[in-house]
Structure 1
Amino acid sequence: MVDGNNLKSFRKLLAAAFMTFPILIILFCIYQNSIFEGPKNNPFEDVKDNQFLSKIPDDKLLGGLLVSSFGEASCISRFESYLYRKTSSYKPSKYLISKLRNYEHLHQICGPYTKSYNETMKEGAQFGKHDVDSRCKYVIWIAANGLGNRMLSMVSTFLYAILTGRLLIVRFDNDMSNLFCEPFPNSSWLLPKNSPFSNNLKQFKTFESMLTNNKKNNSEELLPSIVFLTLMNYNLGDTRFHCDQNQDLLQKIPILILQADQYFAPTFFMISSFRQDLNKMFPDKDTIFHHLGRYLFHPSNEVWEGIRKYYETHLGKENEKIGVQIRVFNAEQTPEIIISETISCIHQNKLLTKFNMQSSMNPPLEKNTSKVVLVVSLYSKYGESLKSIYESNTSLSSGVIKVYQPSHEENQKLGDNMHNIKAWIEIYLLGLCDALVTSSWSTFGYVANGLAGLKPLILQNVHGKIVPNPPCQQNNLEPCLHIPPKYDCRTNTPFNDTFTFYNTKHCEDYPGGIKIINMYD
């Protein structure tokens, strides 16, 4: 038998154990957390944030080009576009990413509506004034010509801003409203509507007159605080923009107003002070527009809805998507010749199976495949012709070729906002294709190629009345600068002809132009 006293003691011991056990469990949990989570006051790590970021696919942020600090509702395309496009094979350099983060920080400090912005813009404030932030310098971009030209010149201007420590501010008139999302976090790139730079730009001193006055007076004290640059035509405009000594002068100007319609980024390789940064930012030189274009241009919610609906209705379910962009510059180019050239290019490069249009017996597509041809042109006749040719020459039992053309405005409508919205939708849809055939000289095609990260097949025929052989040739990613500088900064004399320089060559589709390449190309 158990002694009564012993039983009583045993019960007390058991009760104490039960009371102590929860405390031990709590202490054990605290100990476990201290091992696996680390100190709670670690200022460099937020476990929840890191767990969230680890779930974001790398291509959703374009390999680090973008930051996740935007509200998704304000720009849906920024967060959804990776679901529609293929992952780029071109990765941005760590140096480029760091330059973009530094730029974003500066834009938050100096962007529109900040104190620094207001003080600098007031009466064209000089750097010497005590109430002006000397870090805040600006390049104000002014639109010119069609949307393709504008996007090319915006990327060039943004790269110039990064290289020179300026902020890019864009003046969008009504025909550019609601095309793009804001690209910079917690700030705007839009020039305020009440800005003195919204009109009457002729009141400001031009770059050429600044150089003339500076040469006469030989005094930097007389430099203006605002300079108007025109890079519309290097033969007639600011021909000495690319000279090192003139860039030194421009660094002393707080506000530059720049109107351009070309991809003038190739000229930066002429400026010795820019080359080191360019080489570090872009180890692959021919990815400049690809990276900066995808960083800057995100379709607005309205535009994105149009892109998404069209893609899901017509393109998304097909095995392969072939984009064809046709721009006609010469009235002597007949539609029949252009169609024949396009089909020859598609067949010679095996984008689609070659067939005999005179015969009903043609090789079928690979079994159970479906391909779609997206035709982008101002004219409906090209979409209709390719549709009638391809959709009547396929074997439905083996595979299907479908042809779609989103719109056909029949002529370019400058200054029309809806026209630009349609153009932006079509540029973006081309960028979602697996292969591209585009027209020579076309800035519209250059933008689509660059955003897609695809080396395009560019049609060769511009003037001829017969289909050339070959009908097209593959180009690299970079757009062509159609009218490059013809001014020799060393001798202060014009060049007699176009020349190439560091990391550039003549364009395949526009021999008088130049484009950026890698040296090993």
Structure 2
Amino acid sequence: MDKVQVRSLSAICVTIVALVMLAFYNWTVIQDQIFYTVVSLQETHQPGSGARYVEQPKTAQELIQRLRNTTRSIGLGTTYGMNMSATELEDWQAANPCLSRSELIPMYAERKVAKSLPPNPVWDELFAEYSRYHRVCTKSIRDPKGYFVKKDDSSPCKFLVADVAFGTGLGNKMFTLASGILYAIMTQRVLLVPTTNLVPEFTCEPFPGSSWRLDPETFPTPPEQFVTGDGSWILDAEFSDRVDRAMKREPKVNGTSLGPLAYAVGVTRHEWQPKGRFYCDTEQRAYSQSIWMYTSGCIYTIPKLFAIPSFRPVLEGLFPDRMAMTRVVRSLLLPDNTVWDRVRRIHHVYLSGADRQLGLQVRYRDGREMYNKMNDVVNKRITDCALENGLLPRLTSELNSKLLAATNTSAPNPVVKVFIASLFPGVHESLSKLYVLKPTVSGEDVGLVQITQDETQEFSLEADRQAFTEVILLSLSDHLMVTPMSTFGGLAQSFGALTPWFIDYRSESSTSCERSPTVEVCNQFSIKEYSCPHDSDVNGQRIDQVVDYIKDCPVIDHDLGIQLITDFES
């Protein structure tokens, strides 16, 4: 065989090898394309304009502008334009009265001792812009169920159904919903709240001209325990598999080529909150292309939102003091007129005119059995804590004759009011014996108020209304003592922007109480490390080593949680 033939044969071999490799590569690509085609066929939908991936905004002002642009693009040339007329607003307010919207914040400012939270104009601007977005989106799609069932994507609006686990108490409901609210705003999703969790039944409609109410009897939400989907929702275990497949196919993607992996995603719970991968940038890029999301649980998770790298710049711009929860509840979770009427009447009759007010929230988790066992210990620690920290006046065994003579001819003694929220009467009885039998060194008079002592926690609309009444009354205190691990007390500290004292329930402890390091409450049972297999810059790292203002919760409160450390203390 001559050299020419050898060279020709070599060239042929090289060509054949190249063709085989090319064919293999093309077949691999075809396989992936088949996978994504099957995925799309399974979903019977390929999301369009409403599901285009856009990078997370870098600043709060950029988020505000994006909401404004979307609202303008939908509202132009429609009867429900970007802004409501004065008549429209007046009609909506008449149909959705909410006295607490104008009356609650001034009552916090009237407290004699507690520090008032300063205004936050950036948050106020964002909330106003998001309210417009919510109104225009809900008006444009008209029927959420019809829009969902048809797998429509004709609007650029996206949606979050924020639910609460069945059988959840008031504090957990409100914390879960507050977390969902902030997530919806951050991801520019229209917030819808199923009425079965009762929160819309005892709070005000938060968005002028719109409604967040969703009827789950007609709207196809996922099963409560997420055991299986109902055909409409992709549960996030499967969604994570799709993310993994996409990243394996093209590991260096910047998010845009992840593709629309689902029209509707239900976020599965772990320890009653979203799983660890929910808080990863890659997953959030994938979620951003879904038109609908559904979340449920009973745990506060706002600290974990601050941990998401792409969310952090906006959240830090919105809440430089980290007072996120207080801003959210005071703007969006206000008591409706039924609850507010109770608050006003009780406050006027029993609490107004106090020179200072102490709030006491006392819970016995195991009910009567724990109360019988721990009542004396807890009462002593409450008293010791209050006296050691100047929350209640010290007692004396002798009358101060000079002070007594002065009070007969001058103004009445200063008054300290103590509002007690507890299912049991023990602390009220204990403090009554002390302050009825003995005078105080300072000459202050102490008044005690407890409006319920039902012994057992109930779960109903009336129970939630009464509990919310007591939460707001607690929040109007100057100082607050709460039960560790109690979201009821945590909700009061959030509304009141108060740094609480935790009553020490530990029988082996020698301390009476411990001051919280922050106004913000604990994200309980939180995974403290990033679980982000596709985000190598943070995967496996402890969150508190990446974000310096996120710390472990105090052991007295919850040693398996994390919390935001605020720059505000009251």
2:194 aligned with 1:171: yes
2:287 aligned with 1:250: yes
2:93 aligned with 1:71: yes
Conserved 8 A contact 1:207-1:238: no
Change (3 A) 1:174 1:447: closer
Q: How many residues align?
A: 442
Bigger CA radius of gyration: 1
Conserved 8 A contact 1:387-1:404: no
Kindly provide the amino acid, as one letter, of the partner of residue 179 in structure 1.
Answer: F
- Name the counterpart of 2:457: 412
2:353 aligned with 1:341: no
Residues 217-264 of structure 1 show CA distances to partners (whole Å, capped at 9, x for unaligned) of 659557221111134517x96221001100000001111110021111
Kindly provide the amino acid, as one letter, of the partner of residue 292 in structure 1.
Answer: V
2:185 aligned with 1:143: no
Aligned runs of 1:25-424 on 2, under 5 Å?
71=93, 74-86=97-109, 89-111=116-138, 114-115=140-141, 118=144, 121-123=147-149, 125-127=151-153, 132-134=154-156, 136-144=157-165, 145-173=168-196, 175-176=198-199, 178-192=201-215, 195-197=218-220, 200=223, 202-203=229-230, 204-216=233-245, 223-231=261-269, 233=271, 238-285=275-322, 287-329=323-365, 334-355=374-395, 359=397, 368-394=413-439, 398-414=443-459, 416-424=460-468
CA distance in 1, matches of 2:295, 2:160: 7
Residues 446-479 of structure 1 show CA distances to partners (whole Å, capped at 9, x for unaligned) of 11011111211222x233255x325232432111
Residues 12-46 of structure 1 show CA distances to partners (whole Å, capped at 9, x for unaligned) of xxxxxxxxxxxxxxxxxxxxxxxxxxxxxxxxxxx
TM-score relative to the length of structure 1: 0.77
Residues 38-97 of structure 1 show CA distances to partners (whole Å, capped at 9, x for unaligned) of xxxxxxxxxxxxxxxxxxxxxxxxxxxxx9997377112222224533266322433222
CA distance in 2, matches of 1:481, 1:142: 18
Kindly provide the amino acid, as one letter, of the partner of residue 446 in structure 1.
Answer: G
Partner of residue 488 from structure 2, selected from 416, 422, 444: 444
| Unaligned ranges ≥5, structure 2 | 1-88, 250-256, 408-412
Q: CA deviation at 1:499?
A: 5.3
Aligned runs of 1:509-520 on 2, under 5 Å?
509-518=557-566
Kindly provide the amino acid, as one letter, of the partner of residue 149 in structure 2.
Answer: E
TM-score relative to the length of structure 2: 0.70
Partner of residue 425 from structure 1, selected from 448, 454, 469: 469
Kindly provide the amino acid, as one letter, of the partner of residue 201 in structure 2.
Answer: N
CA RMSD of aligned residues (A): 3.2
Q: Find the residue that maps to 2:204 and give its secondary structure.
A: coil
Q: CA deviation at 1:162?
A: 1.3
Q: Find the residue that maps to 1:248 and give its secondary structure.
A: helix
Conserved 8 A contact 1:140-1:169: yes
Kindly provide the amino acid, as one letter, of the partner of residue 461 in structure 2.
Answer: N
CA distance in 1, matches of 2:105, 2:270: 35
Conserved 8 A contact 1:455-1:474: yes
Kindly provide the amino acid, as one letter, of the partner of residue 162 in structure 2.
Answer: W
Change (3 A) 1:183 1:273: same
Change (3 A) 1:193 1:301: same
CA distance in 2, matches of 1:270, 1:141: 20
Conserved 8 A contact 2:543-2:550: no
Q: Find the residue that maps to 2:296 and give its secondary structure.
A: strand
Aligned identity (percent) is 25
Q: CA deviation at 1:484?
A: 1.5
- Name the counterpart of 1:28: none
Conserved 8 A contact 1:376-1:405: yes
Q: Find the residue that maps to 1:162 and give its secondary structure.
A: helix
Residues 477-515 of structure 1 show CA distances to partners (whole Å, capped at 9, x for unaligned) of 111101212553455799698855412011122222111
CA distance in 2, matches of 1:398, 1:465: 35
CA distance in 2, matches of 1:425, 1:519: 28
Change (3 A) 1:160 1:232: same
Kindly provide the amino acid, as one letter, of the partner of residue 124 in structure 2.
Answer: I
CA distance in 2, matches of 1:382, 1:520: 30
Change (3 A) 1:453 1:174: closer
CA distance in 1, matches of 2:190, 2:457: 32
Conserved 8 A contact 2:164-2:296: yes
2:508 aligned with 1:481: no
Which has more helix, going by share of residues? 2
Q: CA deviation at 1:329?
A: 3.1
CA distance in 2, matches of 1:93, 1:312: 29
Range with bigger deviation, 510-519 or 341-350:
510-519
Residues 380-416 of structure 1 show CA distances to partners (whole Å, capped at 9, x for unaligned) of 22222222322332369944211111111212223x1
Q: CA deviation at 1:126?
A: 4.8
Change (3 A) 1:79 1:448: same
Change (3 A) 1:486 1:323: closer
Q: CA deviation at 1:195?
A: 3.5
Residues 174-233 of structure 1 show CA distances to partners (whole Å, capped at 9, x for unaligned) of 744631111111111111355423574542321122111443465955722111113451
Residues 141-196 of structure 1 show CA distances to partners (whole Å, capped at 9, x for unaligned) of 11222110111111111111111111111112174463111111111111135542
Change (3 A) 1:237 1:89: closer
Q: Find the residue that maps to 2:451 and give its secondary structure.
A: coil
| Unaligned ranges ≥5, structure 1 | 1-66
CA distance in 2, matches of 1:435, 1:124: 53
